Structure 1
Amino acid sequence: MKPMFMGASTKQGYKIAKKSREIVRSLIDSKTRNLTPEERSIVERIVHSTADPEYADITQISSDFVEKSLKAISEEKDILTDINMVRVGINKYEGIINCHIADERTIELARKHEITRAAAAMELAALNGFDGVVVIGNSPTALLKVIELVESDSMDVKSVIGVPVGFVAAAESKKSLQESSIPHLITEGPKGGTPVAVAAVNSLISLLRTKQDEVNG
């Protein structure tokens, strides 16, 4: 059996996923009618993963996000995450998924520039010639650093999933991303986190696999 909605691949798993999808859609249908089918699929997966319908209200997707992200993923561009928990949650991707948070060079950069390790990890990625999709679920400083690096032409980023969680700088960092020219997905306010980031990127991977299956018949 081919992978189904939310990655279900068994009869029992498909039944559960199908029922969950029906519940999610009934809860957020009126809030997602103006979205494209791809955007709607992403939001549904975020709501499903968090069991929180409010994400249908606070998830904001730039008009070029899906196109740019799917193109990058189809070309197997690198994916960069802020923490390892996000990295290990991403599945069925054939490209490289990097997280530099524990790299000794990251620690050295953080000490040298007196910044967080998460921000330093983004700086290290830029120094290493990163080219791809950035997925940030926890660190506002990492998101702000990515924006800074892109705007100074120091980092080649195709799109950013920026959903750091928390009450300090998270909302502000996401607002900054929203106001930038970077193709993006954000969640307004303090909500976000690893489950949201992972759901968004896995939804993109699933969308691409579905498109490829349709092309291949």
Structure 2
Amino acid sequence: MNNSAIIIITHGSRRNTFVEDMINLATYIEEKLEVPVFLSHNEYTEPNWRNIVSELLSKGINHIVFALAFLGRGNHVAKDIMGSFGVNEFYKWVKSTYEGKEINVYFTKPLADSNLVKLALFYRVFTAFPQQENEYIEDPEEIEERTMKFIREKVRERFPYMGGREIEIIARAVYASGNIDIADKIYISQDAIDIGIESLKTGISILTDVKMVSAGIRWNKVENYLDKASELAKEMRITRTAAGIRLGLSSPKIVVIGNAPTAVAEVLKIRKEGIEIPLVIATPPGFTNAVEVKEDLIKSGIPCIVLRGTYGGSSIAVSIINELIRMVRSHGG
């Protein structure tokens, strides 16, 4: 509205620093709203809000927002200011008169009930009571080492009969998820680790369902066909991730699926067509298809490492394949 303005009203003070602080406040609001803002005071210093109202009305500006820069609803607010217009409501445009002229007024509430003001005051008081801070480990290698040590111990407690390589794969998955409970959900088929390691030693390519998985794998032959899958997906009436898997499995590859249950389903179809798949790592999360298709993968006989149930995620799939790669590079499995 071209006939609008904002008047900020403070209690007022003769001290220059007070006025400087209020000018900064008024400037900030004017720059944000691009509406004329006038700083005024109720007493002690000029300009007085009454004079500004009179001046604005003389210029035809008759829609005025009164921003009350008071903490509480005392007499200055209720009687001196709002009472001058016969108004007792906040956040509502009200028609009134002032010096015989019509005016539309809108009053903001004082500040004490604002959570932002409460928080600002709290932080200022808080500095007087310094809190004892915990000491944090900042070295990333030490963080990983300590975390993995803790996780390995927890996994061994659950599976005292399990071999070291299986423990390491499960621990890496737990580390990636931040959830120790998924340790009970990870299925590793017989010989899956050996087959994965031997396949990687040949320099085999790794095929992924989504780019997020590809981005995390530390291997120089990682393939993803999602960008090229739209046409095939429409033709076969399947998802793009499923089509991307089909495009990529023209030859044997390790398949790593961290996002799409339909990609796992497509792997099962392709396997029935006679394509050899040395290893599938499948950790797609979900409540529709995910549980069932992962169980079907386990039953299929394809060597696999699977996170059962609704749990899952790309980072978990990446952590598992990267652990196999680490085994190859560190000591050949």
- Sort the TM-score into its range (normalised by shorter chain): 0.7 to 0.9
Greater helix fraction, Structure 1 or Structure 2? 1
Q: Are the equivalent residues in 2 in contact too, given 1:78–1:130 (CA < 8 A)? A: no
Shift of residue 125, structure 1, vs aligned partner: 1.5
Secondary structure, in 3 states, of the residue corresponding to 1:34?
coil
Q: Are the equivalent residues in 2 in contact too, given 1:143–1:173 (CA < 8 A)? A: yes
Higher RCO structure (Cα 8 Å, ≥6 apart): 1
Structure 2 gaps, min length 5: 1-137
Shift of residue 26, structure 1, vs aligned partner: 3.1
Q: Are the equivalent residues in 2 in contact too, given 1:32–1:56 (CA < 8 A)? A: no
TM-score of the superposed pair, with normalisation by structure 1: 0.86
Shift of residue 49, structure 1, vs aligned partner: 1.2
Q: Are the equivalent residues in 2 in contact too, given 1:163–1:193 (CA < 8 A)? A: yes
Q: State the one-letter code of the partner of 1:108.
A: E
More moved, 161-170 vs 12-21: 12-21
Q: How does 1:54-69 map to 2 (within 5 A)?
A: 54-69=181-196
Larger Rg computed on CA atoms: 2
Are residues 1:130 and 2:255 paired?
no
Match for residue 263 of structure 2?
Answer: 142
Q: State the one-letter code of the partner of 2:179.
A: D
Match for residue 280 of structure 2?
Answer: 160
Match for residue 177 of structure 1?
Answer: 297
Are residues 1:84 and 2:211 paired?
yes
Q: State the one-letter code of the partner of 1:122.
A: I
Q: How does 1:1-40 map to 2 (within 5 A)?
A: 12-40=139-167
Match for residue 117 of structure 1?
Answer: 240
Match for residue 5 of structure 1?
Answer: none
Structure 1 gaps, min length 5: 1-10
Q: State the one-letter code of the partner of 2:152.
A: R
Match for residue 72 of structure 1?
Answer: 199
> Per-residue CA shift, 1:83-118, capped at 9, x if unaligned?
000000111x23x10011111xx1111101111111
Distance 1:28 1:204 in 2: 18
Shift of residue 39, structure 1, vs aligned partner: 1.1
Q: State the one-letter code of the partner of 2:187.
A: Q
Distance 1:162 1:17 in 2: 24
Q: Are the equivalent residues in 2 in contact too, given 1:69–1:204 (CA < 8 A)? A: yes
Match for residue 325 of structure 2?
Answer: 205
Distance 1:172 1:208 in 2: 32
Q: CA RMSD in A?
A: 1.5
Secondary structure, in 3 states, of the residue corresponding to 1:77?
coil
Secondary structure, in 3 states, of the residue corresponding to 2:141?
helix
Which of residues 74, 95, 99 is equivalent to 2:224?
A: 99
